[in-house]
Amino acid sequence: MVVKAVIESYVRGGGRQHMNKVILCVLGYDGDVSSLIGKRVIYRDAKGNVYKGRIVRRHGRRNPLVIAVFDRNLPGQAIGQIALIEA
């Protein structure tokens, strides 16, 4: 099963932003987003580059936000785009 998610922003804090950690908003997932922890995330840009990552934790208590860590830094053009979660 593949779940879509929107890349919301980089994880920020302590006066810096972490370019390989992003906040994802999960779209159309009925279950608890805590069950997605450990699942793979794939983002493909317009040039065909593939960025792979993994969901490490949820962000907040009641909202469908999770934090994913990618192997490579994501470009700024990825914010607002769709990523795929292999659930």
* Average pLDDT, rounded, for the chain: 95
The answer to whether 17 and 76 are in contact (CB under 8 A) is no
pLDDT value, residue 25: 96
Q: How many residues does the chain have?
A: 87
Q: Kindly report, residue by residue over 2-54, the tens digit of the pLDDT.
A: 999 999 999 999 999 999 999 999 999 888 999 999 999 999 999 999 999 99
Long-range contacts of 33-39 (CB under 8 A, 24+ apart): 33/58, 33/64, 33/65, 33/66, 34/58, 35/87, 36/3, 36/66, 36/85, 36/87, 37/66, 39/85, 39/86, 39/87
Integer Cα distance of 43 and 48 in angstroms: 10
pLDDT at 83: 97
2-86 — its CATH code? Answer: 2.40.10.190
Confidence (pLDDT) at 87: 79
pLDDT category, 81, cuts 50, 70, 90? very high
